[in-house]
Structure 1
């Protein structure tokens, strides 16, 4: 894999300044915590923390409820309540899953993952074809990214450098295990370059990123959801394959890694609106594999097509 022009963060002695001790201690505790406890107990603790957090996250409870009202209007109030509670439990577990991803040794991490079907990625790899691996903001996304690397089909991931240097160093180190490489999310040229070179690039087209480089197309029951055109930009300029992928946790606490279809043949690359609508259909399919494990606490429908409408008006 070629290296990004954005240099990876490096340790500096200034990072040992007392103002950084809280970050070091916090991550040190998380690393120790996830390594000394069995996974079954970690799962119970993480989900318990998420349920407890509902008491203090009333605004996020409202956001999740409103998202479900918009996306699934047929869902009853009692069904939404159960769904939101499960979503919060999985949100609490996300912190534990981040610790597992960043701090577990590979031999232990392997025990958690199931290669359900990733053969299409290996086929494209053998043919030297770049792959835009479109995933979603699953609460266990950190697990999915490392799992793909452990299975030998890792790649490049876009990330936003953290403002805190120590946090950024640990984040970068934790996310680049087993061969994954990080690219600054602003480095579009490097993203296109690695795709043209036959590599894999993780991409998340499922959130509302604002009006810039977006169109308004159906997403679940919302007919005008603000949707990024980044997928079509990357696919059109690199001539890569497009493969939806996921890694949701099953009832046994194992993470099923699936990337089993290549959808670029019928992808309308030259029509940004049609392309976004086409991609959203596959994003919906991914989310519906385990809908309670998607990030419903995010204001997915905050940007309106009507530019005069206040941002977030759907959540007022």
Structure 2
């Protein structure tokens, strides 16, 4: 393959990855006009249109999607190989792209940023907070972080936390005004703070379990959100009961008495958090260093 052909394919992959000529041009260090010309040259050489362009969006054609599916992993492997070859004195270098749940970013990544950078100054962390369960292979991420029950079978998963017991909590003043529910049926008479699932837009049905009996309960209340911090804030202000996913924020409030547990005998155990990556990709030294940092018990949240 000639150098110009390699550059054309790399330019196409950058545009397809980002669905944007402007972002791809910035990544490649080119002007948008030069990048557009490179893509036109590639399409002319192959005799097929690879990208659909409008004033607002860029997407791959059917032929472009097939080409991108084949070449994207090759460029990822090349990037890994170059990063490993360029490591100085055994230290990992390069950019590490991570797709993570918001609560994992807050609980595990944020407290370790300084330590990781001091230990591995040659690694740039590119962290995308995403609760929508995006495809990390399609998005060209090195790894993702999510709950164990939602990881595809063809991934290698590294456990970060034990399984977690879910919690229903409330502000004491809400319970003083409305009383405390003791059964799932009681929830119909209470205001509940609800979660909007990003992956499909559904409102989450509260999962409850007691002595072998499992229920999914649709609840109603004054707030529906997909942001954990907003849900916790609403509970602290007495808007209603909260089915808590982000335990770091909730546990602090429970310890201070600003929130109290409700229906503790009905909550379920959920799979813990895992870091995962594609089984067909050899993990880079940077990724392994990042995993070690996240699993460091000295900083476990």
Q: Same fold (TM over 0.5)?
A: no
Tell me the TM-score normalised to structure 2 length: 0.28
Tell me the TM-score normalised to structure 1 length: 0.27
> Greater strand percent: which structure?
2
